[in-house]
Amino acid sequence: MCPSSRAARLKHDLTLEALSEITGISASTLSRLEAGKRAPNLELLLPVTRALRLSLDDLLMWHAPDPRVQSRTRHFGNLTVEYLSPDTAPVQTFKMTFTPTTEPMQTRSHDGYEWFYVLRGRARVILGDRELVIEAGQAAEFDTRIPHGVAALGGEPVEVLSIFNRSGERIHLPGIGSPHPHGRR
């Protein structure tokens, strides 16, 4: 629900326990609903609206939180990473810029699955025993348990948008290298 449900409950001089007795909904569930920590459904909303003498519109009118992510940037040698998702997100999104270097490319492996899209430049990618070139406008996805590395190819930096799923699930994007979900393209 929202903070307005708490205000309406307090206006009626009701505690969570009193509202719980009236609605048959546990006080802990009501508290989570008021705090926005539980998704409301009609089975929960209707008894609350009746008890507080509110319409559903009154109860659901609230301001959405600010959806903008506060990005932060970190530098690791010739790699700059801009974090584009909250640390708590199950799927992480990054903008990575690799500047050209004469240092040998380091590969690493870890749990997860990565999808990336080259925004600008050309990327040299090592994936296991394969070496690939991924150009601007091209995407790649791979299991990160396979030793892998990315570097700028040529004298220009390469910018990459990366989506990483730590649990190892593939990123499925219809129309980008995969069939349309309904069999059409």
Query: Tell me: the pLDDT tens digits for 57-102?
Result: 777 765 566 778 888 999 999 999 999 998 878 889 999 999 999 9
DSSP-assigned beta bridge partners for residue 143: 113
| Confidence (pLDDT) at 68 | 81
What is the pTM (predicted TM-score) of this model? Answer: 0.60
The predicted pLDDT at position 185 comes to: 38
Which domains does the chain show, CATH number per domain? 3-60 (1.10.260.40), 72-165 (2.60.120.10)
* Residue pLDDT, tens place only, 102-138: 999 999 999 999 999 999 999 999 999 999 999 999 9
**pLDDT, tens only, 23-55:** 999 999 999 888 878 888 888 889 998 999 888
pLDDT of residue 167: 77
pLDDT at residue 181, rounded to an integer: 45
Write down the pLDDT at residue 1: 58
Q: Do residues 95 and 82 lie in contact, with contact meaning Cβ atoms separated by under 8 Å?
A: yes
Residue 109 CB contacts under 8 Å (≥ 6 apart), including other chains: 144, 145, 146, 147, 148
